[in-house]
Structure 1
Amino acid sequence: MITSPQRSPRLTGVLPGPKAAALIERDAHALSPSFTRPYPFVMGRGQGCWATDVDGNEFLDYTAGIAVNATGHSHPRVVQAVTEQAARFLHMSGTDFYYEREIELAERLSEKCLPGKSARVFFTNSGAEAIEGAMKLARYVTQRPNYIAFLGAFHGRTLGALSLTASKATQRRRFAPLIPAVFHAPFPSPATGVSAAESIRRLEDLLSTVVPAESVAAVFVEPIQGEGGYLVPPDDFLSRLRELTSRHGILLVADEVQSGIGRTGRFLAFEHWGVQPDIVCLAKGLASGMPLGAFVASAEHMNWAPGSHGSTFGGNPVACAAALATLQLLDEGLIENATRVGDRLLSGLRELQAQHPQQVTDARGIGLMLALEMAAPALANEVIQRAFQRGLLLLTCGSSSIRLCPPLVLDDSEVSAGLEILRAVLREL
């Protein structure tokens, strides 16, 4: 087998460069200050796992646009699918009319998300919209008012989704009142010391005290918490949660917005535990960067009347074409690649933890949904700043974690390059 030579980031001067600095200055006057930009990177173009800024500096991208660019930046087959569809027509609302790409994509997603069931799909523009739609559908189906979610969860920032979100206080501050019918329980993880038994016990406490089981429409859960810190639950948690919800006629909604689309080495992260939810929410990597989300439910559940829910742009034909190309690439080997290179990357992260135990307190994750837990929030931020100055793009999550969610096209040489930069940064510190 021929191994390609290792490519390294190429930085030409002080960051940010002059073009980037000028654009950042314009941005400060033109865009909302609510955005959280961790360092001064201004995208110019990208290919695969590599991003070039407007000054020509080349970076290794371990963010994938927050786990969105599943097939890497501007994969040729995704670009071709987008271009061909754009030449046919850009938009015809699927709420009012029909087009083939939307139907074909719905059929593919039904098979992948709820195998063995007759299922239906509603397309949205984003993950938050998928969550909002699932909230409405759960109420419609069960005729129950309440929801349960988990501490540390991130389900979106629109008011309904934000009511479920319990990741950071700043996301909720000054937006009250949110939907009042939402209750939270601890999310279990070895990283936080909360066991599956403790989490289920707290859920049962809620059901026996303040929110009767017969009033709960759905439990929303991320199989691996994203913004909460890339937290992986104990192996018995999701099966116990499935049993509890089924016993009480409560719908189980899987938020696979960040963990789905092959990121963990399975199409859905839920598959690692052999559990099937009632509703699956998707977005992020679904269309390799085009804005597209979806929620999938059995035909028995998604039986609401015409006009109950709709979307002007959801299921846009160009985004559907990109999603179909994405699914084909996943089937041709990207899911398996996420497992293989993810195992290698996690092994390297654990070596770094062993070498720097005062700084790195944990290395965890599945596939290419990985995290380094640092000893303090300031340390996590310092690592991503120094990595940026060396040409590696990273983001934080949780209180003191660094997330690694590179495109699923990551190869062995790019694993080595990323680990080398992290190793150098930790030595500096």
Structure 2
Amino acid sequence: MSNKELQALKERYVAAGAASPNEQFADHATNAELWDADGKRMIDFAGGIGVLNIGHRHPKVVEAIKAQLDKLMHTCQTVMPYEGYVRLAQKLSDVTPVRGHAKVMLANSGAEALENAVKIARAATGRTNVICFDGGYHGRTFMTMAMNGKAAPYQTDFGPMPGMVYRAPYPVPYHGVSEDEALRGLAMTMKADSPARNTAAIVIEPVLGEGGFYPAPTSFMKALRKICDDNDIVLIVDEVQSGFGRTGKMFAIEHTGVEPDMMTMAKSMADGMPISAIVGTDKIMDSCGPNSLGGTYAGSPTACAAALAVFEVFETEDILGKSQRLGEKLNQRFSQWQEQFAHVDNVRTLGAMAAFELVESKDTHKPMPELAGAITKLAKAKGLIVLGCGLYGNTLRFLMPVTIEDEVLEEGLAILEQCLAEAGA
């Protein structure tokens, strides 16, 4: 079917809240390229919102999924477990930098991972409250909507959010929130709203995802670690978007040397298959009663097979090195644009987790979300998929596969540079 035919079906049958505004429909893809239903080729700088760090349809992942389909598709692991679940749990325990011996629960999505992390933290501490941060994004379920640090569009129209969730400032000096101010804000939250004796967990993204790709300073993360230690609070690090090689390390928190009590992960964990994980210290993870955690499809055999294949790709294809080198290339090009274009500013890269902002003035830092929107629209017309993000909607973020071929990367960057010029950046 053509794009036009599929668009007509979408308008008739897909709920408006779930329908993409994009009128192109993906047909097939390889690594960092995809083709729509009309055969138009697109360069993918979005990676399914950070899901495809090793590219569309990596051959080893496809092979592993096909092999698993010939053996077993489903039993529900709580009814009859299988090898893939326990092998993946062992692998995650080995590589995840939580304190001490780690145990694992598998789930289906990032939001589900965060929901379960809160449940586990409450069980482990006997407390109720959760403290999150401005600009954070944790999902679209009710608990995770309450945890998000941005109301629209995630909470719009959906009524009261769950209680016992409180928020503190995230340090973004570029937009006027220093590290000291963020710590003072957290202290006030714990004084006025959520005292330590009631706080089960502090949940933070080590690099804001939807909130704008701002890394938390190492000193800030160390301060959070101390606050949690001093008050017996569980430190939960959300690596759903920043994990699995995006920042040049397996997990972004490794850049700080801080060891959390629990971590959540999803997205590039299985190169497109739906799976997520909660990894935490054994004492915390074992605090829940029998059969209190799980789900019908949680850690499905095919998704586990895909995730194990992803680990094999990391071990054999220098994915972390590729991420670091890609980040260096992006930083160099974006820094050139910052000098070249009046409205491009605040270039930042942590490995290949890269972004820059569109602002009216490099002195005032006033956001230009309309310019960011114009550039993404121009790019799409020229065959390049780019995403915006941030509390102010003025950040362009880059999540292309770290396996992207040099010539495809250069082609995409050339298109983006042309769009910056045409849009008056």
Please tell me the residue identity of whatever aligns with 2:327.
G
1:283 to 266, 269, 280: 266
Report Cα offsets for 1:57-109 as digits up to 9, x if no partner. 11110011111112111111100000000010111111222211111100000
Report Cα offsets for 1:310-331 as digits up to 9, x if no partner. 2110110000000001111122
Following superposition, the deviation at residue 25 of structure 1 comes to: 1.7
Name the counterpart of 2:292.
Answer: 308
Name the counterpart of 1:335.
Answer: 320
RMSD of aligned residue pairs (Cα, Å): 1.4
In 2: Cα distance, 1:425 partner to 1:174 partner: 35
In 2: Cα distance, 1:205 partner to 1:175 partner: 28
Q: Verify: 1:353 aligned to 2:338, yes or no.
A: yes
In 1: Cα distance, 2:350 partner to 2:408 partner: 18
Name the counterpart of 1:274.
Answer: 257
Gaps of 5+ in 2: 360-367
Following superposition, the deviation at residue 192 of structure 1 comes to: 2.1
Name the counterpart of 2:387.
Answer: 395
Is 2:99–2:260's contact at 8 Å kept on the other side of the alignment?
A: no
Q: Which deviates further from its counterpart, 79-88 or 365-374? A: 365-374
1:62 to 34, 39, 45: 45
1:81 to 42, 51, 64: 64
Is 1:392–1:421's contact at 8 Å kept on the other side of the alignment?
A: yes
Q: Which deviates further from its counterpart, 204-213 or 79-88? A: 204-213
| TM-score, length basis structure 2 | 0.94
Name the counterpart of 2:186.
Answer: 203
Report Cα offsets for 1:378-421 as digits up to 9, x if no partner. 11111011111111111111121111101121233233222211
In 2: Cα distance, 1:186 partner to 1:271 partner: 22
Q: Verify: 1:367 aligned to 2:367, yes or no.
A: no
Report Cα offsets for 1:345-402 as digits up to 9, x if no partner. 1211121121112x21222131221112112111111101111111111111112111
| TM-score, length basis structure 1 | 0.93
Q: Which deviates further from its counterpart, 147-156 or 96-105? A: 96-105
Aligned residue for 1:301, secondary structure, equals helix
In 2: Cα distance, 1:203 partner to 1:427 partner: 41
Q: Verify: 1:406 aligned to 2:391, yes or no.
A: no
Q: Verify: 1:381 aligned to 2:381, yes or no.
A: no
Following superposition, the deviation at residue 115 of structure 1 comes to: 6.0
Is 1:344–1:415's contact at 8 Å kept on the other side of the alignment?
A: no
Structural mapping, 1:42-191, within 5 Å: 42-114=25-97, 117-191=100-174
Aligned residue for 1:323, secondary structure, equals helix
Gaps of 5+ in 1: 1-17
1:417 to 385, 406, 411: 411
Following superposition, the deviation at residue 116 of structure 1 comes to: 6.6
Please tell me the residue identity of whatever aligns with 2:403.
V
Structural mapping, 1:222-237, within 5 Å: 222-237=205-220
In 1: Cα distance, 2:355 partner to 2:150 partner: 16
Aligned residue for 2:421, secondary structure, equals helix
Q: Verify: 1:255 aligned to 2:238, yes or no.
A: yes
Change (3 A) 1:382 1:36: farther
In 1: Cα distance, 2:387 partner to 2:61 partner: 25
Name the counterpart of 1:5.
Answer: none
Q: Which deviates further from its counterpart, 418-427 or 256-265? A: 418-427
Is 2:106–2:278's contact at 8 Å kept on the other side of the alignment?
A: yes
Is 2:135–2:149's contact at 8 Å kept on the other side of the alignment?
A: yes
Following superposition, the deviation at residue 38 of structure 1 comes to: 5.0
In 1: Cα distance, 2:350 partner to 2:24 partner: 28
In 2: Cα distance, 1:291 partner to 1:343 partner: 30
Following superposition, the deviation at residue 260 of structure 1 comes to: 0.4
Please tell me the residue identity of whatever aligns with 1:414.
V
In 2: Cα distance, 1:246 partner to 1:171 partner: 32
Report Cα offsets for 1:100-137 as digits up to 9, x if no partner. 11111000001111367221111111000000000100
Q: Verify: 1:24 aligned to 2:3, yes or no.
A: no
In 2: Cα distance, 1:231 partner to 1:81 partner: 35
Report Cα offsets for 1:246-287 as digits up to 9, x if no partner. 111110101100000111111110000111111100111100
In 2: Cα distance, 1:139 partner to 1:253 partner: 12
In 2: Cα distance, 1:311 partner to 1:121 partner: 14
Aligned residue for 1:170, secondary structure, equals coil
Report Cα offsets for 1:213-258 as digits up to 9, x if no partner. 1110000100000011111223311111111111111101011000
Following superposition, the deviation at residue 170 of structure 1 comes to: 2.3
How many percent of aligned residue pairs carry the same amino acid? 36
Structural mapping, 1:7-22, within 5 Å: 19-22=2-5
Is 2:98–2:262's contact at 8 Å kept on the other side of the alignment?
A: no
Report Cα offsets for 1:295-347 as digits up to 9, x if no partner. 01111111122121221101100000000011111222111101111111121
Is 1:131–1:155's contact at 8 Å kept on the other side of the alignment?
A: yes
Following superposition, the deviation at residue 36 of structure 1 comes to: 6.3
Aligned length: 411
Is 1:114–1:297's contact at 8 Å kept on the other side of the alignment?
A: no
In 1: Cα distance, 2:191 partner to 2:254 partner: 30
In 1: Cα distance, 2:400 partner to 2:258 partner: 26
Following superposition, the deviation at residue 146 of structure 1 comes to: 0.4
In 1: Cα distance, 2:305 partner to 2:338 partner: 42
Please tell me the residue identity of whatever aligns with 1:66.
I
In 2: Cα distance, 1:38 partner to 1:32 partner: 12
